[in-house]
Amino acid sequence: MGQLEGKVAVVTGASRGIGKGIALVLAEQGATVYVTGRTVTPGEYYLPGTVGETAAECSERGKASGGKGVAVACDHGNDEQVAALFDRVKKDEGRLDILVNNAFQLSDDLIEPKPFWEKSLSNLEMWDVGVRSNFVAAWHAARIMAPQKSGLIVAISGYVGVTYTFGVVFGTAKSAADRMARDMAIELEPYNVASLSLWQGLTLTEKAYYNLEKSKENMTASITNMTGSSVEHPGRVIAALATDPDIMNRSGATYITTELAQEYGITDVDGRVIPSAREARGSPLWKPIREVDYRGK
């Protein structure tokens, strides 16, 4: 059976992209994975993928390990739907071991080279689903994890935490996700629940291929020159974190996904070692809270 046999995970925004890749890996390693997303009907979105398709693929991948996928149509901008999701997890599973906050509403004009005041205020949707949604999901998850005295909450972020990327709202949202993960770690530590964020570099998602084909000239060289990973690479790292007996020693920090992969001896699905972009794009701000006590400072 898989290393995550008996574990329960929620991966938000997993109809496609990074979320889908993470869900597939966790299920393959034995977890029951609740796959959330807004796309239910094939063809209703311009990119392929639905929650049902991802969940079905999770179940297929998890046959040998005991893992499976459970599809839940959920708009993470709707608090009632999010509450219903976690109520279902608690009722059906009685526990929750991993929450991956991946859902993020990318604005249509994200990569257009315009200053913030020439873009629509609707860009604040990236704050609603990307920051506020992270807090709401973690709030519900913590109410399950804290009483059981175990759990892992992961926020998917990026080098944008210290490097200008795509604009003001995007950068602010991802920076907030990092800080939120750190502060949650402080309050969760007494309950043996870990919280951290991962800086994911260029990932070869359906959206990435679409943008690279459509508007590569609008992207910075620091992005287009990076070696992209598959969507499953971060899932392999999260699975390693979830089985790390010393995970609490990592809680509160922001990590570069590729560097953790090298620490754990993880390669991508094709055997490649994905390089870190630290030198080109910057270093995370937050260290584990057990290494540096930020309380009151």
- What would the pLDDT profile of 140-156 be if each residue is shown by its tens digit? 999 999 999 999 999 99
Instruction: Give residue-wise pLDDT tens across range 261-288.
Output: 999 999 999 999 999 999 989 999 999 9
Segment 202-230, tens digit of pLDDT: 877 666 666 566 655 554 454 444 568 89
Q: Which of 125-134, 197-206, 221-230, 246-255 has the lowest mean pLDDT?
A: 221-230
Confidence band for 13, pLDDT divided at 50, 70 and 90: very high
Question: Tell me, what's the pLDDT at 8?
Answer: 98
Given a contact cutoff of 8 angstroms between Cβ atoms, the answer to whether 236 and 263 are in contact is no
Task: Write out pLDDT tens, residues 15-46.
Answer: 989 999 999 999 999 999 999 999 888 877 76
Report the pLDDT averaged over residues 53-81. Answer: 96
CATH class of 8-281: alpha beta
Looking at per-residue confidence, does 226 or 11 come out higher?
11
Q: Could you tell me the pLDDT band of residue 2, with boundaries at 50, 70 and 90?
A: confident
**HEC sequence for the chain:** CCCCCCCEEEECCCCCHHHHHHHHHHHHCCCEEEEEECCCCCCCCCCCCCHHHHHHHHHHHCCCCCCEEEEEECCCCCHHHHHHHHHHHHHHHCCCCEEEECCCCCCCCCCCCCCHHHCCHHHHHHHHHHHHHHHHHHHHHHHHHHHHCCEEEEEEECHHHCCCCCCHHHHHHHHHHHHHHHHHHHHHHHHCEEEEEEECCCECCHHHHHHHHHHHHHCCHHHHCCCCECCCHHHHHHHHHHCCCCHHHCCCCEEEHHHHHHHHCCCCCCCCCCCCCHHHHCCCCCCCCCCCCCCCC
pTM above 0.85, yes or no: yes
Query: What are the extents of the domains in the chain?
Result: 8-281
- Is residue 296's pLDDT more than 70? no
Average per-residue pLDDT for the chain:
90
Please tell me the predicted confidence (pLDDT) of residue 196.
98
